[in-house]
Each structure stands twice: as C-alpha cells, then as structure tokens.
Amino acid sequence: MAFRDVVGHRRLLSLLSRAIARDSLTPSLVLSGPEGVGKRLTAISIAQAMNCTAPWGATPLGVTREADHIPSASGGLIIDACGKCPACRRIARGMHPDVQTIEPGESGAIKIEQVRAAIDRAVFRPFEGRKRVTIVDQADALVGPAQNALLKTLEEPLPASVFILVTSRPDTLLPTVRSRCANLRFGRLLVAEVAEVLERSHGYSRADALTAAAASDGSVRRALDLEADDFADARSDAEDLLQVAGRDPRARLEQAKELLKGGGTPASEREHLSARLQALVTVLRDLGLLASGADTRLLANLDRQPALDALLRSLGGDRVDRAFVAVTNAQDALDRNVSPKVVADWLALNVH
C-alpha cells in the first residue's frame, strides 16, 4: 500500500506527498471523514513514505529529483513509498519497529495505558527508519483521560515522531486535542472508485462491484457490509414501480404489492418497504442527474445507466420530480409508524 494505491482523494494525497518530500509534514494529524474511504490506508502510506528505504522521487538525502521516472499513474505525487522493500512490507504487516498502531481493545475503548505505552515508545529515536509513526485508529474510542494524556505530546511533538489520529467522528475528540492537530478531511468516494476497490482488492466481478458500489454511499466498508443481492432486488422493484407510473391506478396498486413482500410480519414488511424507498431515492436522484445532463460518473447506479436512460425517456423530468417528492413523503410517513400497506398504496397512487 502506497499513496498511488489509495483510491480517490488525489488532492489530499499529493498534499501529503509534497509535505513529506519537504520534510514539513505537521507532526500531529487528524485524518477524518466517512468510514471506509481509505483514511487508515492513507495513514499507513504516510508511515511507508517516511520510512521506505527506496522511495520513488527522492534521493537518499531527501532532496527530490525530477519526478519523471514516476509512472504517470501516480499523478501529483512528488514522493511515494516503493511498497516492496522490507520496510514497506513490514509496515503493511504491522511489524515495523518504528511504526505502531493503537486501536480499541475488547472493551471498545482505547485506554490511557495504551496511550502512555505508545508515547513511551515514541520518545526513542527511530531504530531503523527516519520517523517514528504512531497511528491511533478509531481515535474516537479514546477515553477522556487517554485524550488528555496525548495532549502534551501533540502540543510539543517529540523529535522525529508523528502522531496520526484516524476517525470518522472527529467531533468526539476533545476541542483541545483537535486544536493541536492539522485536520485532513476525506470525502466520500465516487461509485466508480468504490467499485474499483471492490474489484481490485476484494475479488468482486465487475458487475457485482458496480451493484454493491451503487448502494455504498461512497464507502467501501458499507459496500462490503451490505448484501448486494438484497439491494439489487430492491432496486429492481423500484424501477418496476417507476415503469408503471404512466399507467392506470389499478396497475400501480398491483405493483405496490411488490413493495411489501417480506415474510408477513409487520416488522419485515416495514424493512422490505424501507429498502425499496431507499432504492427509489438513489434511482430518482440518478434520473434527475441524467435529466440535467450532469457527468454520468456521478451516478450511483452506474451499472444501470442504459436502463435509467430508457426510464427517463418514458417518464420525463416532471414526473421524476413529482416521484421524488412522493418518495420523501412516504419515507416520512413510514418513520412516523404509518402502516407499510397504507404507505405503499399511497406511494403507488402518487407516482403518476
């Protein structure tokens, strides 16, 4: 794992690369942003770029050479880890003497003892590499006293030592901790980027990767957690409902039954309908994007583009807008505990 292997976030990565090349990276960092977008991988890439024995783009003295020998795929990166030397490999495996990660234990919290031990190790000069790197993964799990124990180190950084706090909930860190760190905010990934990670690193086929990515909300973690088949079913029901939008009310009410099939209990019907409403939102949002001529790379349902093009032609933009309002109201009604059957019928009658 090196910067060039992290998917997305090019501007942020090139910023980090430049700071490392100039040896000007701030020693106290927070990497924040949604779960599953590559924050921890970036932290590991930072540790590698700092300790790699044969980094791309740098002379042994740390002076950057012309970067023309870096493949163009690494666009914007001034320095990057080689990913292959023993140092890089040991950092990736969590076995490098100068790179340590602390994370929540069984209790779900990061305790003060863990932080104290990490600081004790961080005071030594690097054994093998150039910098000691301490990664605090899920830093929001730091208990209050553990955060306070970190404060002094963040404020008066140890020489040749870097602390990187990784969190999807930076607001749970004490203001005193946040104010002592530079905050790098990661955004969501594009659907195509999530699909790329699923295909490259998790063995998904192209088709499965695109379907799972469609429901991922820009997070690889979320794509891996959800049942892609369930989403594909929900989306297919959503498209079917929109297909009959121009037909008579009876046909639409008949189609509404598909929104409820869920095993019979009210709870399972509610869950089934809720998944279909979520799928409708992603499909309608995509139809709105297509109608406005937006960049198709922004589509959530990239894998369904031809079907969505056809659907948009048969529906027309006005109907898409009306349907969006109807689905939002249906979601509100479901949240207010209106019966799923009433919501499904109301929705079918109002998507017209």
CB burial of residue 335 (10 Å; 0-12, 13-18, 19+): exposed
CB of 51 to Zn ion, least distance (A): 8
**Cβ–Cβ under 8 Å, residues 143 and 111:** yes
Closest approach of Zn ion to the CB of residue 88, in Å: 3
Q: How far apart are CA 74 and CA 46, in angstroms?
A: 15
Alpha carbons within 13 A on the beta-carbon side of 335: 8
Contact 223, 216 (CB under 8 A): yes
Q: Which is nearer to Zn ion, 80 or 239 (CB)?
A: 80
Q: How far is the CB of 85 from Zn ion (least distance, A)?
A: 3
CB nearer to Zn ion: pick between 91 and 273: 91
Amino acid (1-letter code) at residue 325: V
Q: CB of residue 92 vs Zn ion: minimum separation in angstroms? A: 10
Residue 56: CB minimum distance to Zn ion, A: 9
Give me the sign of the Cα torsion angle 103, 138, 163, 219. positive
Q: Minimal distance in Å, beta carbon 165 to Zn ion?
A: 24
Q: Determine the Cα–Cα distance for residues 285 and 278; give it in Å rounded to an integer.
A: 11
Which of residues 85 and 112 has its CB atom nearest to Zn ion in the complex? 85
Report d(CA 258, CA 254) in Å as an integer. Answer: 8
Contact footprint for Zn ion (CB under 5 A): 52, 81-82, 85, 88
The residue among 6 and 52 lying less far from Zn ion, judged by its C-beta, is 52
Q: How far is the CB of 233 from Zn ion (least distance, A)?
A: 45
Element (H, E) at 196: helix 191-202
Positive or negative torsion for Cα 270, 276, 280, 283: positive
Residue 135 DSSP SS3: strand
Q: Which is nearer to Zn ion, 58 or 81 (CB)?
A: 81
Sheet holding 99-102, edge to edge: 99-102, 132-136, 161-167, 28-32, 182-185
Q: Is 81 or 275 the residue whose CB approaches Zn ion more closely?
A: 81
Q: Which is nearer to Zn ion, 81 or 190 (CB)?
A: 81
